[in-house]
Structure 1
Amino acid sequence: MAEVDEEHRVCDTAVTLAFSVLGKRWNGMILSSLGSGPSTFAALRRAVGGISDTMLSDRLAELADAGLVARTVDAGPPVTVSYALTPSGDGLLPILDQLGRWASANLA
């Protein structure tokens, strides 16, 4: 039996960090939905489908803390809140697109 190189057993730190954000349920769908432009909370909830208000709020806060989503409050009246991708979040769109194409081709 061939000896396995120990270096290959340790997951890359950057990949681990990326999946700590992207690996959470809903985050990829939220980011993908925001790829078409800024959105309100209600529009995101409809676009993602099946996500609770609490979970959407939590995920948006996490994505904002990670620097991927920006939250903007318009004083109105009425007061409106919108969410948009930051430049870092926008940089993920080609990756999410590629991941979607891979899933279509390889997953049942």
Structure 2
Amino acid sequence: MLPVTAKTKEQAEDCPIRQVLSQVTGKWQMLIVLVLEDGALRFGALRRTIGDVTQRVLTENLRKLERDGYITRSVDPGPPVAVSYALTPLGRELLEHMKSLTIWAAGRHQQVLDSRTAYDSK
């Protein structure tokens, strides 16, 4: 088994697995990385592509991903000023792992729905 057990808060904070996964496995982080697969996008295009994300939540998640080195933020002074986001090499590597999980999830969606229905009917 992977070393994921932490008996204290300090051990949990020092766990490299928890440190990384807690920052990349949220719904918004995963969607942002997946959306950037085909290349850089401006903030508005990112927001429209994802659809149901607020400006504040998107901004917070972009900052987290940039801080951890998964994306870069580029500013073209314009006019008008244009800010775009793109995956770094680390982000591209993460994307490949996320794509596998995404493909698996799409292929198992009906099975999960059937399981939920069976569970809820008990």
Q: Which residue of 2 aligns with 1:74?
A: 76
Matched ranges for 1:73-92 at <5 A: 73-92=75-94
Q: Which runs of 5+ in 1 are unaligned?
A: 1-7
TM-score when normalising by structure 2: 0.75
Q: Which residue of 2 aligns with 1:61?
A: 63
Q: Which residue of 1 aligns with 2:4?
A: 11
| Letter in structure 1 aligned against 2:4 | C
Q: Which residue of 1 aligns with 2:24?
A: 22
Q: How many residues align?
A: 101
Distance in 1 between residues matched to 2:2 and 2:75, nearest whole Å: 45
Distance in 2 between residues matched to 1:70 and 1:77, nearest whole Å: 21
User: In the TM superposition, what is the alpha-carbon distance from 1:105 to its structure 2 partner?
Assistant: 2.2
Alignment identity in percent? 35
Q: Which residue of 1 aligns with 2:36?
A: 34
Backbone CA RMSD of aligned residues: 1.7
**Larger relative helix fraction:** 2
TM-score when normalising by structure 1: 0.84
Q: Which has the higher contact order (CA 8 A, sep 6+)?
A: 1
User: In the TM superposition, what is the alpha-carbon distance from 1:10 to its structure 2 partner?
Assistant: 4.5
Note if 1:101 corresponds to 2:94.
Answer: no
Q: Which residue of 2 aligns with 1:3?
A: none
Closer, same or farther: CA 107–17 of 1 in aligned 2, 3 Å: farther
Distance in 1 between residues matched to 2:54 and 2:2, nearest whole Å: 37
